[in-house]
Amino acid sequence: MWPTRYVVAARQAESKDTVTLTLRPVENPIEPPRPGQFTMLYAYGVGEVPISVSGFARGQELVQTIRAIGAVTRALCAAAPGDMVGVRGPFGTQWQLSLAEGRDLLVVAGGIGLAPLRPALLAALAERARYRRVVLLVGGRSPDDLLFARELETWRRRGASVRVTVDRADADWKGGVGLVTRFIDGAVTDPARTAAFVCGPEIMMRICAHTLVSRGVAAEDILVSLERNMRCGAALCGHCQLGPLLLCRDGPVVNYADAAPLAAKQEL
């Protein structure tokens, strides 16, 4: 439960409110996180919040992408190289790439949801031959809000079919306009051989999962990432409870067969 000290080794602005930090341990590092897992990041003197791992760095470094929405995330986004942060974890479940092996992998991201999906996408592209197709659908509010925009072309070259759409376009925008959910139908070509990883606002995940199921993708083959208020991260405090699940332990990545009945009772 005691945070391990990491120093900010690099800071990359992704958009006007989102920053990617590369964190280097200054003492014994935490275990290497797996795609989909999160850590509790502590801005000293401000507070601690759950943040997903958004990439793999060299050696024992961590890569995490943070959107500034409140006191703690604002403090983390303001951290500069050389500043210290505390890290606990890694916690939670992971994107099961084995579900997609020999099949189509459909990755659907809305906004900051691309951050937790990025390690799974990178892992799939590193072993591209294991998957029939790798399709990435990305939705953002505007072109300026898109995360990892500089990497989209690299992902295409490495064998992903990438489609990007925004809610509000400007005159220079060459991609799609509209909700990412609209493109799901066309992205599924063989529902029985498709696994989908979906992360974004809850309403977006619900519409995506519903569309995928209606196209014939099995609910067990659809993974979503559920966020709830978290405190301990270690299945001790109950803050993250959703029905029978403690999402810091049984999530955040959950298959839609398990998530759907909970969504019927409350906002998923």
Ligand X SMILES: Cc1cc2nc3c(=O)[nH]c(=O)nc-3n(C[C@H](O)[C@H](O)[C@H](O)COP(=O)(O)OP(=O)(O)OC[C@H]3O[C@@H](n4cnc5c(N)ncnc54)[C@H](O)[C@@H]3O)c2cc1C
Q: Is 233 in the site for ligand FES (CB under 6 A)?
A: yes
Residue 205's SS3 state is: helix
Report if residue 36 touches ligand X, rule: CB under 6 A: no
- The number of residues that bind ligand FES (CB under 6 A) is 12
Q: Site residues for ligand X, window 108-167 (CB under 6 A)?
A: 112, 115-116
Q: Which stretch binds ligand FES (CB under 6 A): 106-114, 118-126, 150-158, 230-238?
A: 230-238
Range in contact with ligand FES (rule: CB under 6 A) among 27-35, 71-79, 170-178, 224-232: 224-232
Residue in 113, 143, 74, 86 with CA at minimum distance from that of residue 224: 113
Identify the CA nearest to 183 among candidates 244, 94, 113, 106. Answer: 106
13 binds ligand X (CB under 6 A): no
Rounded Cα distance between 220 and 4, Å, is 36
For ligand X, the closer CB: 49 or 209: 49
Q: Which of residues 205-264 bind ligand X (CB under 6 A)?
A: 227-228, 230, 252
Q: Which part of the chain contacts ligand X (CB under 6 A), choosing from 61-69, 119-127, 151-159, 207-215?
A: 61-69
At residue 33's C-alpha, the angle toward residues 224 and 188, to 5°, is: 30
- Give the separation between CA 154 and CA 34, rounded to whole angstroms: 22
Question: What string marks each residue from 73 to 92 as x (binds ligand X by CB under 6 A) or -?
Answer: x-------------------
What sign for the dihedral angle of Cα 53, 12, 30, 125?
A: positive
CA distance 28 to 6: 10
Distance CA 204, CA 224 (A): 10
Query: Which residues, listed in sequence order, are joined to residue 137 by a DSSP beta bridge?
Result: 108, 163
Q: Which does 38 bind (CB under 5 to 8 A by kind): ligand X, ligand FES, none?
A: ligand X
Distance between CA 249 and CA 26 in Å, rounded?
Answer: 27
The only residue of 49, 106, 137, 187 in contact with ligand X, by rule CB under 6 A: 49
Among 8, 40, 63, 66, the residue binding ligand X under the rule CB under 6 A is 66
Does 69 engage in binding with ligand X (CB under 6 A)?
Answer: yes
Q: Which is nearer to ligand X, 194 or 255 (CB)?
A: 255
**Residue 233 touches which of ligand FES, ligand X, none (Cβ within 5-8 Å per kind):** ligand FES
Contact call for residue 207 and ligand FES (CB under 6 A): no
**Mutual angle of helices 256-265 and 202-214, in 10-degree steps:** 120
Considering Cα of 214, then 220, then 224, then 230, what sign does the dihedral take? positive
- DSSP line for 136-148: EEEEESSGGG-TT
Binding part of the chain for ligand X, among 1-9, 50-58, 123-131, 188-196 by CB under 6 A, reads: 50-58
Residues that bind ligand X (CB under 6 A): 38, 47, 49-52, 65-67, 69-73, 112, 115-116, 227-228, 230, 252
Residues that bind ligand FES (CB under 6 A): 230-233, 235-240, 246, 248
